[in-house]
Structure 1
Amino acid sequence: MDTEVMRHQLQYLTDREVFVSAGHADSELVRTADGWRIAASSLRLVWTRGTPPRVPANRGAQT
């Protein structure tokens, strides 16, 4: 079975650029009969700027 390791550089901006974060994701890939699949992945934030957006208090609440 073929395997590979891949690193993604990323940056996240909120709508008004109040909060910015950047880092990288490392993924382990495995080639299957159906093509490449992600076997494992991890995310590491390297830096942030500003105040993170707040999660609404009722997020996930049943109505």
Structure 2
Amino acid sequence: MTTVRVRVDRQLCMGSGTCLATAPALFDMGDDGTADPVAPLVAPSAVLDAAVSRCPTGAIQTLPG
């Protein structure tokens, strides 16, 4: 199975919660108010693509797993 590594740049994340609203199974909010991937390695999906594209600051990155 192909996987990608999901990373959230904490310097860019403003904690809007858009990723959590778009992909609640993939993201959670950390204690510091920024997004955290639930699992660092996930299968690529349309839901993940939507969360990445809807992030208002571009803080979510996907890299080859």
Which of the five TM-score ranges fits, normalised by the shorter chain?
under 0.3
Name the structure where helix makes up a greater proportion of residues.
2
Higher strand proportion, which one?
A: 1
Normalising by structure 1, we get a TM-score of 0.23
Q: Select the structure of larger CA radius of gyration.
A: 1
